[in-house]
C-alpha cells in the first residue's frame, strides 16, 4: 500500500480527474445496490407474497424503514398501473438504473485514464531529469543497462502493477464499505460475524504478498542485468566475433536469463494463488453466514426470510470486489518493488551541486589555476598535489601514459567530478563558487571519440539551440570553419539530415568535424581538447587538424595529447606519471632536458 502513498504527489497533480473518478465510482456503486435491493421486494408484492400497504411508513435511518418505504412505493405502482403495467415500469426503471450505473463506471474510467497516463509520464520525466542531473561518476559505478531497465521495464511495471489497479483500490473498498453499512442496517449480529472472520483472511494474503515483493525485486534486478549484458554485447559485437567468443557470451546470457525465468515463475505462482485463495475464503464466509442466518430465520430472531435473502444477495456482491481487491493488492506489491528501484535513482544524492550563493561566471578574463589538486577514485589515488597555471590565450598540453590522470584533470576543470583536496580557480575564484551552467558555458569540449546524437546535423551542431534563420547561418559558418560544410551540403537533406545512432551514417573524420563545428558554434573562450585526430586516417586527420587550428585561435586551451607532433607549439607541456608532474616546459625545453618527454617523442618519430 505504500506504493500509493509514494505516488500520491504525482496523483494530486490531477485533482479534477481524481475527484470526478471518486464521485462517479460512488454513484455507480449506489445505483448497483439500489437496483439489487428493489427486485426481490417487488416480486414479493407482485406475486402476492406480501400485502400492499396503503399508508406510507414513518421515515427513519433503519433497514426496516428503508424496505418499508420501498415496499410502499412499489405497492402504489401496482395499485395505480395494475400488475402488468407496474412490471413494465419497474423493468424499464431497472434498465435506466443499470444504464446510469455503467455510464458512471465509464466516466470513472475515463478520468482514471487521464490520471494513470499522466502519472506515468510525470514519473518517467522526473526519472529522466534526475538521470541528466546526476554526476558523470554515477554512471561509471552503475551499469547503464540496469538504469535503462529502471527507466523502462520498472516504470511499465508500476503502470501495470500499481496504476492499473488504482480504480480497484478506490472502488472495491468503497463498494465493500457501503455494502457493509447496508448489511449492518439489516442485521448487525450477522455483519459482525463477517468482520470477525475477515482478519484471518487478511493475514494469510499478507504473508504470501510479502514473499512476492522480495521475489519481484530480485526478478527486476535480473532484468537490469540482462539489459546490461545485451547492451555490452551489441556495443562490442565486432570484438566478440573477432575472438570467436559467441559461445561464452551466449552461455553467460543464458545463465542470467534462466535465473530471471525462475524468479518470474516463482513470482507468478504466488500471484496466481491470490484469486483462488480469496474466492475460497469469501465463499467460506458466506457459508458461515448462511448457516447462522438460517438459524436466526427459523428461530424468528431479528430477521425474516425476505431480509435474509436480501442480505445474502448484498453479501454475495462483496465477493467480486473483495477478490478484485486481493488481486490488486498482489499487483501493487509487485509494482511496489519496481517503484523502489525507480526511487533508488530519484533519491540518489547529487554530490556535485551549486552552492546556495553560487555566482555566475559571465566572462573569463585572466587565468585558470590548479592549487594542490588531489583526487582519488574509489579510494584509489589518481592525482597528487598538482600545481600549475593556464593563462588566458595560452595553450597547455597534458601528456603521459594511460592512467596518468590527463583526462581526470580535464573532467575536474569541467566539474564533472569535484576535487578531494586543493582547489581549481578561475580568475581567482574557486569553480565550486560558480554555477555549473555558467562554468560550462565558458568551455567547449572536443573529445577523442566524437559524441553525436540520433538527430539532424543542425541539432548536433547547435545542441539545444532552437532553429532560426540567424542560428542556421551561425551553424553553417561554424561548419565551414570546421571543414564540414562541403560534405554536409552533399547529404540527402543537408543540415536536416539525420546522422543516425551515434553518427554511424558518417565517417570518423566527418563525425569529428561535426563535434569541432559544435565547439566553434558554442564560441566558448576555454577549450578542452582530448586529442581529436589520434584515431583517424591520414586524409581525415589533415582535415580535422586544419579545423582544430582554426578552433584554437584566440582561445585558452587545455590539450590532452596523444600524438606529440600536434603540441609542438604549445605554450607549456606538462608530463604526468601516476598522478604527479614529472616534467614541464615547452617542446624544445623538454627535448633538451632529455627526460621522459624526449623518449616519448623519439618513440613516436
The tens digit of pLDDT for each residue in 340-385 reads 888 888 888 888 888 888 899 888 888 999 999 999 887 788 899 9
Q: Quick one: 490 and 577 in the same domain?
A: yes
> Would 576 be classed as within a structural domain?
yes
Range of the domain at 234: 2-346
**What CATH number did the domain enclosing 44 receive?**
1.20.1560.10
User: Are 465 and 423 in a shared domain?
Assistant: yes
| 229 belongs to a structural domain | yes
- 585, 573 contact by CB (below 8 A): yes
Q: Is residue 400 part of a domain?
A: yes
pLDDT in tens, 463-509: 888 888 898 999 998 888 888 888 999 998 999 999 887 788 888 88
Q: Are residues 131 and 236 in the same domain?
A: yes
> Do 553 and 411 belong to one domain?
yes
The total of structural domains in the chain comes to: 2
CA distance 58 to 69: 8
Whether 41 is in a domain gets the answer yes
DSSP 153: I
Other CB atoms within a 10 A radius of the CB of residue 184 amount to 16
CB atoms within 10 A of CB 507: 14
Structure confidence at residue 402 (pLDDT)? 80
What does the pLDDT look like over 550-593, one tens digit per residue? 777 778 989 888 778 778 888 999 999 888 999 999 999 999 99
For the full predicted model, state whether its pTM sits above 0.85.
no
Res 211: pLDDT: 67
Let me know whether 382 and 328 are in one domain: no
DSSP classification of residue 359? B
Mark whether 113 and 148 lie in a shared domain: yes
pLDDT tens string 37-84: 555 555 555 555 556 666 666 665 555 555 566 666 666 666 666 666
356 in a structural domain = no
Higher-confidence residue of 390 and 159: namely: 390
CATH number at residue 530: 3.40.50.300
Distance CA 148, CA 321 (A): 36
- Do 7 and 104 belong together in one domain? yes
What is the phi/psi pair of residue 418, to 5°? -110, 145
Range ranked top by mean pLDDT from 6-15, 183-192, 287-296, 448-457: 448-457
Are 262 and 115 members of one domain? yes
Is 361 inside any structural domain? no
Residue from 95, 99, 108 nearest 171 by CA: 108
Residue pair 13/118 in contact (Cβ under 8 Å)? The answer is yes
The residue out of 314, 346, 378 marking a domain boundary is 346
Kindly state whether residue 359 falls inside one of the protein's structural domains: no
Same domain, 84 and 192: yes
The mean per-residue pLDDT over the stretch 315-322 comes to: 73
Claim to verify: residue 408 and residue 271 sit in the same structural domain = no
User: Are 164 and 107 members of one domain?
Assistant: yes
Residue 389, pLDDT > 90, answer yes
**CA terminus-to-terminus distance, the chain:** 69
Q: What is the mean pLDDT of residues 383-403?
A: 90
Q: Does residue 503 fall inside a structural domain?
A: yes
| Contact in structure between 279 and 319 (CB atoms under 8 Å) | yes
Does 374 lie in the same domain as 336?
Answer: no
User: Each residue of 129-155: pLDDT tens digit?
Assistant: 888 888 877 776 666 777 887 888 788
Contact 589, 604 (CB under 8 A): no
Q: Of 336, 330, 314, nearest to 277 (Cα)?
A: 330
pLDDT at 189 over 90: no
Q: List Cβ neighbours of 406 (8 Å cut-off, separation of 6 or more).
A: 398, 399, 400, 560, 576
**What's the mean pLDDT when you consider all of the chain?**
79
Name residues whose C-beta falls within 8 Å of residue 338's C-beta, 6 or more positions apart in sequence. Answer: 150, 153, 154, 155, 157, 158, 161, 216, 220
More confident residue, 102 or 31: 102
The rounded distance, in Å, linking the Cα atoms of 321 and 25 is 13
Amino acid at each position: 500500500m505504500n506504493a500509493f502513498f509514494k505516488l500520491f504527489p504525482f496523483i494530486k497533480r490531477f485533482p479534477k480527474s481524481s475527484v470526478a473518478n471518486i464521485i462517479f465510482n460512488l454513484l455507480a456503486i449506489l445505483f448497483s445496490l439500489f437496483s439489487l435491493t428493489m427486485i426481490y421486494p417487488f416480486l414479493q408484492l407482485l406475486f402476492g407474497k406480501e400485502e400492499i400497504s396503503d399508508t406510507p411508513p414513518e421515515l427513519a435511518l433503519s433497514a426496516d424503514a428503508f424496505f418499508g418505504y420501498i415496499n410502499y412505493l412499489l405497492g402504489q405502482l401496482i395499485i395505480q398501473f395494475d400488475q402488468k403495467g407496474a412490471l413494465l415500469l419497474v423493468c424499464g426503471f431497472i434498465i435506466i438504473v443499470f444504464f446510469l450505473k455503467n455510464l458512471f463506471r465509464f466516466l470513472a474510467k475515463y478520468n482514471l485514464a487521464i490520471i494513470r497516463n499522466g502519472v506515468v509520464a510525470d514519473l518517467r520525466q522526473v526519472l529522466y531529469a534526475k538521470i541528466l542531473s546526476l554526476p558523470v561518476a554515477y554512471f561509471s559505478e552503475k551499469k547503464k543497462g540496469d538504469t535503462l531497465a529502471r527507466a523502462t521495464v520498472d516504470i511499465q511495471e508500476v503502470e501495470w502493477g500499481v496504476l492499473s489497479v488504482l480504480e480497484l483500490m478506490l472502488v472495491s473498498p468503497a463498494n465493500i464499505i457501503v455494502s457493509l453499512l447496508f448489511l449492518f442496517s439489516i442485521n448487525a449480529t450477522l455483519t459482525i460475524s463477517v468482520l470477525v472472520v475477515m482478519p484471518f483472511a487478511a493475514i494469510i494474503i499478507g504473508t504470501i504478498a510479502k514473499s512476492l515483493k522480495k521475489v519481484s525485486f530480485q526478478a527486476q534486478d535480473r532484468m537490469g542485468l540482462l539489459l546490461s549484458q545485451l547492451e555490452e554485447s551489441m556495443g562490442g559485437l565486432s570484438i566478440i566475433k573477432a575472438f570467436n567468443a559467441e559461445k561464452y557470451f551466449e552461455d553467460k546470457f543464458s545463465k542470467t536469463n534462466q535465473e530471471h525465468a525462475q524468479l518470474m515463475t516463482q513470482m507468478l505462482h504466488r500471484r496466481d494463488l491470490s484469486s483462488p485463495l480469496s474466492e475460497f475464503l469469501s465463499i467460506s464466509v458466506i457459508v458461515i453466514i448462511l448457516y447462522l442466518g438460517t438459524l436466526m430465520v427459523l428461530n424468528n430472531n431479528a430477521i425474516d426470510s425476505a431480509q435474509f435473502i436480501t442480505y445474502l444477495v448484498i453479501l454475495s456482491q462483496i465477493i467480486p470486489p473483495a477478490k478484485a481487491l486481493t488481486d490488486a493488492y498482489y499487483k501493487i506489491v509487485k509494482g511496489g518493488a519496481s517503484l523502489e528501484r525507480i526511487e533508488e535513482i530519484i533519491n540518489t544524492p547529487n554530490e556535485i551541486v551549486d552552492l546556495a550563493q553560487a555566482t555566475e561566471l559571465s566572462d573569463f578574463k585572466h587565468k585558470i589555476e590548479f592549487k594542490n589538486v588531489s583526487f582519488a577514485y574509489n579510494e584509489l589515488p589518481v592525482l597528487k598535489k598538482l600545481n600549475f597555471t593556464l593563462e588566458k590565450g595560452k595553450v597547455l598540453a597534458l601528456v603521459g601514459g594511460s592512467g596518468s590522470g590527463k583526462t581526470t584533470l580535464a573532467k575536474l576543470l569541467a566539474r564533472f567530478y569535484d576535487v578531494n583536496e586543493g582547489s581549481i580557480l578561475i580568475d581567482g575564484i574557486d569553480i565550486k563558487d560558480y554555477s555549473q551552467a555558467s562554468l560550462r558555458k565558458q568551455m567547449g569540449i572536443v573529445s577523442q571519440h566524437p559524441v553525436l546524437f540520433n538527430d539532424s546535423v543542425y541539432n548536433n551542431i547547435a545542441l539545444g539551440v532552437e532553429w532560426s534563420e540567424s542560428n542556421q547561418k551561425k551553424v553553417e559558418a561554424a561548419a565551414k570553419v570546421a571543414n564540414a560544410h562541403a560534405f554536409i551540403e552533399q547529404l540527402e537533406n543537408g543540415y536536416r539530415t539525420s546522422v543516425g545512432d551515434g553518427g554511424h551514417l558518417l565517417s570518423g573524420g566527418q563525425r569529428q568535424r561535426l563535434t569541432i563545428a559544435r565547439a566553434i558554434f558554442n564560441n566558448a573562450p576555454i577549450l578542452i581538447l582530448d586529442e581529436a585526430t589520434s584515431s583517424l586516417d591520414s586524409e581525415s586527420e589533415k582535415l580535422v587538424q586544419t579545423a582544430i587550428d582554426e578552433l584554437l585561435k584566440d582561445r585558452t586551451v587545455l590539450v590532452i595529447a596523444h600524438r606529440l607532433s600536434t603540441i609542438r607549439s604549445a605554450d607549456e607541456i606538462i608530463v604526468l606519471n601516476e598522478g604527479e608532474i614529472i616534467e614541464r616546459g615547452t617542446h624544445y625545453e623538454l627535448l633538451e632536458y632529455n627526460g621522459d618527454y624526449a623518449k616519448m617523442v623519439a618513440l613516436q618519430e
